[in-house]
Structure formats: C-alpha cells, structure tokens
Chains A and B, each alone.
Chain A
Amino acid sequence: MLKIRIMPTLLYRDFELVKGVGFDSWRGVGSAMQAIRVYNMREVDELVFLDITAMQEDRRPDFELIDDLADECFMPLTVGGGVTSLEDVKQLLAVGADKVAMNSQAVHDPELIRAVSHKFGSQCAVVSIDARKEPDGRYQVYTHSGKKPTGLDPVEVAVRAAEYGAGEILLTSIERDGTMEGYDLVLTGRVSDAVSIPVIASGGAGQYEHLYEALQTGKASALAAASIFHFTEQTPLEAKRYLREKNINVRL
C-alpha cells in the first residue's frame, strides 16, 4: 500500500526559516540547514521548502542555497518560490530538488505547467495553490504569498492545473495557516474530489487529530505541516504512530 506522507514545510525568508499566522506576522524559527539535518536524522517522509519572498521581490530562486541544502537532504525535496520559467525548473532539478512547486506563475499562465510536465514529466510538477475563504463564504485563490487576489476559484485552478499536466496539488488555506486550528476540510475535500492527482493539504494543523481529519474528510493524499512541528512537542513520527492506531497506512 502507498503510505500517507507527512511533510514538514520549511518557509524561507530573509536568510532564515520563518512561520507566520495567516501569511503574516512572521517569526524566525531557525536555520534551514539545521532543520534539514534534523529531519534527515528523523527520516521524515518528504520536505517542502518554499522561498516565500522571491515572487514579491521579483527574484529568481536562490539556486546556490538550494544546492547546499539539497546536498544534505537525503529525503525527497520539493522546492518552490520564484519559479517562473522552464529554465528555473531545470536548474532547481539540477541542483537537487526532486519536485518543483509553481504558484503565482502557474496560476496566471498554466502553459508553464504544460511545458514543465512535457520536459521533465508530470511527477515533478507540483502546483501550489493558496486559497482564502472570503467573508461571503466563497473561496478565492491568491498569488504572491497571499498578497494578490485572482478572482479564481481554487477548484477551477486545480482542475486546470491537472489538465495542463500537474503531478500534485499543494493546497494551502491562507487564513488557517499558522493558527493550528485544523485544516480547511471543505476546501481540501472539494479539491480532492475534483482532481485525480494527489492533493497535499496544508495550513492549520495543530494536533494529530487534524491530520486524521484531513485524510478522512478532506481525502488528502499527503499532509504538509509546519507550526505543529516548530512550536509544539509533536513530531512527524508521533503523528504517524497516532495515524497508524487509526488504521491509516503510514511508514514507521
């Protein structure tokens, strides 16, 4: 059986790892290299590394940094932030990323997804979608680290991404992110139902039970989480033990 993956998310900003609440109020949580070494030792399933200011600052990914980090990372690594071209993807893969997450550019120009999947295969094309539940109850996709509203519905964006060759959707609830109050199960469930590629739930995990809910109700294939591992005593391994007791297939 394929195992459910638990993926710690590392957000990078101004030379350190950070974690915020609702894509704001960032707090430093340490060095990226140190985090990768610790997660290596703990043999976590997979890591997500996102450079969250590249797009806002109109920068390309920091290939040198990724090269250094990937050299120490003996687990699958998904890298995102500032990816706007086929050349960016090529270089990220060359320095050691296993998958590349595309967000703003892929939302505005899905041809990038097609180009990447044709050249490097769907399996390395992760489309990252940040969505917010608006006061009227509708969901809207934002780009540029939650700064720019797009008028697009996350289900529509996910379906289109899959059609253009995306291999996975990394789906983050903006207003849940960092709150540790649980994933947005409605959002996750809707997107999971709409596509046949794996959906990684992200944003809001604070307890092991939240992870279970995202699998059962949200039908996610994998769980990305940050605050729960940065700010509490809870660990990916303990999370998996909890899930195993609930008859979820995990790798222990």
Chain B
Amino acid sequence: MKKVAIIDYDMGNVDSVYRAVEECGGVPRITRDAAEIKNADCVILPGVGAYKDGMSNLREYHLDEIVGERVLVKKIPFLGICLGMQLIADKGYEFGETEGLGWISGEIIKLDPGDSLSRIPHVGWNEVHYNQSPLFDDIPQGKDFYFVHSFHFQPARQHFVLATTPYCGEFVSAVNRENIFGVQFHPEKSQRIGFKVLKNFLAL
C-alpha cells in the first residue's frame, strides 16, 4: 500500500483528502515533517484558500524545498488539488502578484466570463475532457467533477494541458509534466468518479 504524504500547510481541507485516500486504499499521513515526507511514496498538496497565504505558508515551513526535493529530484508522483495545483505555477494573481513554485510553467489568472453569463466563482459539477493519461484510466470522457474556484491555470505550453472544462468558454482543469499532476477539481469530493482518479494516482 502506498504511503501518501498529504502536505499540511494550514490551507484547508486536509481532512477530506485524508479520508478519501484512506477509502481509496492508500496510507495517508497529514504532515509537514521532512522525515515523513521523505518516507512517502507520493505526495498530495491539497488546498483551499488564497494564493499569497498558500505560498508564504509553504515557504515558512520550508515545504517548497522539502517537497521540491522529492518531486523534482527523486521524481515521486505529485498531485496538486485546487489551490495545490495552482501553487505549482510560476505566478498567481490573486490579491496581487505572487511567485509560485514554478514546477509547471504557467500563470494563475481569474476566470473571465467575457460575453457569457457565467457566474464567478465556478461552483458545482462540470465536465472534464482529458488527454490520454494514466491519471484518467477507465474514466469516460466528459464526466462531471466538482469544482469550486475563481482562478485557473494558464499553462505556458500546450504540452502541459492534461484536461479542459467548458466554462467561461473553456479553461484548463488539469495539468501534467512528467511525475507532476495538478487538478483544478476536487477528486476527494467527486464521489466514485473522483475516487477513481485518486486510485489511478496511487497506482502511478
């Protein structure tokens, strides 16, 4: 069974992710401890909250370095969820400009309704259309996942786009580079279909 480090940086719903990983057959540990993170087979960075606070908490606890070493050097599987996905970009623009981890090049910008009548934040169940990836194994195209966010990931290269979702036109709802995955939706709150994504992640 996979040991999963769920990174605790005081930003949100670690408990939901913990329960979901447990239900999916992983062995979760909510932690910010370097030794525990070193011991884990994979890492999940959850997160609900504002970009600036998220980044400063990661830095304060030296998690940028500790997790970075595991993910960038040892290349263990990494999954960022919601804010956790956004923090791996180069930059975020929520409440001013904040430098991110820069693990997948791109920027976090606000959803723009344009001419559409789309309300912001984007809250609820919406479709995910993905490119072939082990993260989406055995998941039908266009399935609904649960979203709750106002900002989205705009990758610097098309190559990093793993999935898109139709809202405010269309936005990138999952990104990937090598062992690094990020999803804007909440697999831990997307019931059976969300658990399938988590199981796929645990199987990487």
Please give the residue numbers on chain A whose beta carbons come within 8 Å of chain B beta carbons, in ascending order: 1-5, 40, 43, 45-46, 67, 70-71, 74-76, 90, 93-99, 117-124, 167-168, 196-198, 221-222, 251
Contact = CB atoms under 8 A, between A and B. Distances in A.
A95 B195 CA distance: 20
B180 to A, nearest CB: 22
Contacts of B186: 76, 98
A198 B125 contact: no
Rank and list the top 6 A-B pairs by shortest CB-CB distance, nearest first: A96-B15, A120-B49, A3-B125, A251-B125, A123-B148, A123-B121
A167 B121 contact: yes
B151 to A, nearest CB: 9
Given A93-B48, A119-B53, A121-B48, A221 B192 contact: no
Given A70-B16, A197-B121, A221-B124, 6 more contacts: A1-B166, A5-B123, A96-B15, A118-B95, A168-B123, A221-B123
A71 B127 CA distance: 26
Nearest to A118: B50
A121 B123 contact: no
Contacts of B189: 74-76, 98
Nearest to B17: A96
Looking at chain B's contact residues, the main secondary structure is: mixed
Nearest to A66: B15
Select the residue from B124, B125, B191 with max chain A CB neighbours within 10 A.
B124
Interface in B51-78: 53
Contacts of B144: 3, 251
A96 B127 contact: no
A113 to B, nearest CB: 14
13 contacts: A2-B167, A43-B191, A70-B16, A71-B15, A74-B191, A76-B146, A93-B13, A93-B48, A98-B148, A118-B95, A120-B12, A167-B150, A198-B121
A98 B124 contact: no
A36 to B, nearest CB: 12
Q: Which residue, A3, A119, A123, has most C-beta atoms of chain B within 10 A?
A: A123
